[in-house]
Amino acid sequence: SAVISQKPSRDICQRGTSLTIQCQVDSQVTMMFWYRQQPGQSLTLIATANQGSEATYESGFVIDKFPISRPNLTFSTLTVSNMSPEDSSIYLCSVDSGERTYNEQFFGPGTRLTVL
Amino acid sequence: GDSVTQMEGPVTLSEEAFLTINCTYTATGYPSLFWYVQYPGEGLQLLLKATKADDKGSNKGFEATYRKETTSFHLEKGSVQVSDSAVYFCALRGRTGGFKTIFGAGTRLFVKA
């Protein structure tokens, strides 16, 4: 199984600022996924990040708001830009458990963001 | 498109009670089905899975059977503990969903001592 760490674990930010969330995996993985979990809600996929290519964003999410970097096979960052209170959520990093596309996913502990 | 519907919560039970959380899905073909659990203040972790019809996934006393005929994957446990208090997510992953994991809304379980 993969062990995923995220930094920061939580933060309180002011409106209009940006926050970069880091995700580190203890093994090399092809794809990394970024999810948002709004309070009391399910998970919504923001984007899929492949090493060496631009991230693929889901409907309703754009690169200007959520730029993603994927410099190598064990690390990714998600930036939440020009934040508003509506961005207050838990942001989760995730990876596949193997190369098969029907596999389960492993999740990081999440970053709890509050925007004032 | 693919979707997952699970029973709304919260569900409140006394310790040692029987638990059922209903989950039904819509998908073409044979997706893999999962139950994930999220304990307070943590990320999601896999509880159990089933990859084909009639498979039974089990872990930590929890069970769920992949029922193709009823498109269901209900989660059951015979005797819950206070430590089972968490949010439970039913999920699927299959070809028609572009192999993206589709999550249900989640069901919060409270177990009282």
């029987």: which residue's tokens? B18
pLDDT for A99 beyond 70: no
Q: Does residue A75 sit at the B interface (CB-CB below 8 Å)?
A: no
pLDDT at residue number B95? 75
Average pLDDT over residues B60-86: 97
- Among candidate residues A111, A112, A110, A100, the one with its CA nearest the CA of residue A31: A100
Q: Which tokens go with A37?
A: 């979990």
Which of A41, A101, A108 faces B43 most closely, judged by CB atoms?
A108
For residue B32, which residues of chain A lie inside 8 Å, CB to CB? 102-104
pLDDT at residue number A51? 82
Is B15:B113 a contact under the CB 8 Å cutoff? yes
Average pLDDT over residues B20-24: 97
User: Comparing A50 with B80, which gets the higher pLDDT?
Assistant: B80
Q: Does residue A31 sit at the B interface (CB-CB below 8 Å)?
A: no
Average pLDDT over residues A104-116: 95
pLDDT at residue number B94? 84
For residue A61, which residues of chain B lie inside 8 Å, CB to CB? none
pLDDT > 70 in chain A, percent? 97
CA of A42 to nearest chain B CA: how many angstroms apart? Answer: 5
Give the Cα separation of A95 and A34 in Å (integer): 9
Confidence of residue B74 (pLDDT cuts 50, 70, 90): very high
Q: Which residue of A has its CA nearest to B89?
A: A42
pLDDT at residue number B86? 97
pLDDT at residue number A100? 62
Q: Does residue A101 sit at the B interface (CB-CB below 8 Å)?
A: yes
Is B110:B11 a contact under the CB 8 Å cutoff? yes
